[in-house]
Structure 1
Amino acid sequence: MHDAYQDGWVEINGLRLHYTEWGSPAKPTLLMLHGLNVTCHTWDPFARELQKNYHVICPDLRGHGDSDWAREGYRVRQFANDIHRFIDALGTGPVHLVGHSNGVRVGIAVAGERPEMVRTLALSDAGPQNSPSGAVAMRDFLTATTNLRGFRDEADARAFYLGHHPEWQPEFINLHVKYQLRKNWAGKLVPKQDPDLQWITGSISLPDVTYLWSMAKRLSMPTLVMAGRTSNVIDAEVVDKMLATMPNAKATWFDSGHYFLRERPDEFLSCLSAFLSEHEAA
């Protein structure tokens, strides 16, 4: 099985959104939503394997990667509306839906608003709200990594990402360096994402918490909650509330932090594949 993908673009809500497409459209569709300040290419190592059984589509959310920045903002319902229209435009629904971090929040909104369009839902280390310590940690991290002055070259960028994520498998560092940066007019490598995304981690998103918990009650599809035991984003209290709120959910814990999919990718892929195949067969 080759690992080639096709790039695609679609006009949604006045924005040109980029996506990668893997595997045959004849297979069940798997839609994968990335987190804040990354790109669709963070899913490449998983899409490469999952395309054997699925038609894998990984969009760059608004403000990220090669998709347009959005003047009107980045509220969770705006992300979700983009994905609704994206699914309709590509004619791929209903889909298996996977999200990590902010992609979890978007996934909960998408599946709650239109449960008939989501066959299964896999949520990687986030929920309708963060743990108290997680909210602070994510805000501080995004502030540090959004307002970068720029890198001289790829080696400089690689050293920066390694410093922040020494526990990641090397492939994910390389993907960050290759796809997450652009060369600006001054010849510096700077992040592709819109700096305004950092406001998601502030008080502007507090109203989303109540909304997302209300959407969580509507998740009738099989739902897998994946969490890291040492995550600084969610904790056992949030996971327990998710399991009590979501009608058809189960949880799996990883002996790792928030980025277990990049620290233990084989374990993550095995867990996700088993969940998908179980319900695909059903």
Structure 2
Amino acid sequence: MLTQKEPVSHFITVEGYQVHVTEWGIDKPKSILLWHGFERNGRDFDHLAESLTKEYRVLCPDTIGRGLSQWASKPEDSYCFDLYEKLALKICEVFGFFNLDFLGTGMGGALGIRLASGPLQQNINHLIINDAAPQVEIDGLNRILSYSANPISFTAPQDYEDHLRSIYDGMGYLSDAQWRALTLSSLRRRDDGTITVDFDPGITEQFFDNLQDYDLWDSYQKITCPTLILHGQSSDILTTEVFAKMCEVNENATGVEFPNCGHAPALNKDQQIYVIEEFLKNDR
């Protein structure tokens, strides 16, 4: 029998695509939607989701083109926030998430800005933006494109793990067990037997065909719910200057910086989880 802390996988159809959603805490009264970063998937939140099941029913989707969700037939049209918004709204409808909290990392944080200032403005009670900015930082963008546009193949899982350790060193300290879990939850086998990433390289089309998706200052200033901004102090995606501006221009926003950390805080440490859980206790 499943316990309340064990995850359940669901597949739903949205806009013609099969979308994978991991659900935690199926019997809890509160609802929170956790949305992963650009080339990641919903299993990144396993540790945080398990902790939140003390009070929350937790949903962790894989955005199309990532994880166990279907890849887009037309990357230039589908890998954009217009479709990601539709995914989020359909997930909320299917699972009855009409009164919820939202946490997003990187791309997921940008999606949260759009949702909390637009179609879910009256539904989201708390918004947590994990190392995401309402604008594009070119240095950070180029770093991400350097490994996501043309993914490398590897002969063994350990080689892939070494690769992840090198490109995600900004996440801060992860134990060996956590690195192995990150590796196993984000690899796939090619037809030739080699190992590679579990995302469609076509997701990078968003940066070529829909770069305006990340121009979000106007939307950010319209957010009315309590908002927490988490900042990796050495991040090249959310710079210190932009972090300060985000805390300044929206009176509903507060910020917390994590030292010795870049993009993006993994949210798997007790200190980081404590900050999140304390924020979620505040009434709207």
Deviations 1:135-167, CA, capped at 9 Å, x for gaps: 223323333244223111212212222233454
Number of aligned residue pairs: 275
**Distance in 1 between residues matched to 2:148 and 2:225, nearest whole Å:** 35
2:128 aligns with 122
**Distance in 2 between residues matched to 1:52 and 1:158, nearest whole Å:** 31
The two structures, once aligned, show a CA RMSD in angstroms of: 2.1
Structure 1 stretches of 4+ with a deviation exceeding 4 A read none
For the residue of structure 2 that corresponds to 1:138, the secondary structure is helix
Residue identity in the other structure for 1:157:
Y
Deviations 1:30-70, CA, capped at 9 Å, x for gaps: 11000011110000011111111111110001111001112
**Which of 230, 235, 241 is residue 231 of structure 1 equivalent to?**
235
Q: Does 1:176 align with 2:182?
A: yes
Residue identity in the other structure for 2:220:
A
- Greater Cα offset, 142-151 or 63-72: 142-151
**Distance in 2 between residues matched to 1:217 and 1:128, nearest whole Å:** 10
2:43 aligns with 41
**Distance in 2 between residues matched to 1:136 and 1:195, nearest whole Å:** 19
Identity value in percent: 23
- Greater Cα offset, 264-273 or 90-99: 264-273
CA contact (8 A) 1:104 1:123 kept: yes
For the residue of structure 2 that corresponds to 1:116, the secondary structure is coil
Deviations 1:68-88, CA, capped at 9 Å, x for gaps: 112232112221221012111
Q: Does 1:141 align with 2:144?
A: yes
Q: Does 1:13 align with 2:15?
A: yes
1:102 positional shift: 0.7
**Distance in 2 between residues matched to 1:126 and 1:4, nearest whole Å:** 29
Deviations 1:220-261, CA, capped at 9 Å, x for gaps: 111001112211111232123323333411111111333453
**Distance in 2 between residues matched to 1:136 and 1:26, nearest whole Å:** 41
Residue identity in the other structure for 2:83:
Q
2:255 aligns with 251
Q: Does 1:69 align with 2:75?
A: no
Distance change >3 Å, CA 91–CA 264, structure 1 → 2? closer
Residue identity in the other structure for 2:43:
H
**Which of 162, 167, 175 is residue 164 of structure 1 equivalent to?**
167
**Distance in 2 between residues matched to 1:245 and 1:123, nearest whole Å:** 15
**Which protein is richer in helix relative to its size?**
1
Residue identity in the other structure for 1:112:
S
For the residue of structure 1 that corresponds to 2:278, the secondary structure is helix
Give the TM-score of the pair, scaled to structure 2: 0.89
**Distance in 1 between residues matched to 2:268 and 2:29, nearest whole Å:** 27
For the residue of structure 2 that corresponds to 1:123, the secondary structure is strand
Residue identity in the other structure for 2:122:
E
- Greater Cα offset, 137-146 or 91-100: 137-146
**Distance in 2 between residues matched to 1:236 and 1:230, nearest whole Å:** 8
CA contact (8 A) 2:139 2:236 kept: no
**Distance in 2 between residues matched to 1:206 and 1:164, nearest whole Å:** 22
CA contact (8 A) 1:5 1:23 kept: yes
**Which of 200, 207, 215 is residue 219 of structure 2 equivalent to?**
215
Could you list the runs of 5+ residues in structure 2 that have no partner in the other structure? none
Distance change >3 Å, CA 155–CA 2, structure 1 → 2? farther
Could you list the runs of 5+ residues in structure 1 that have no partner in the other structure? none
CA contact (8 A) 2:33 2:58 kept: yes
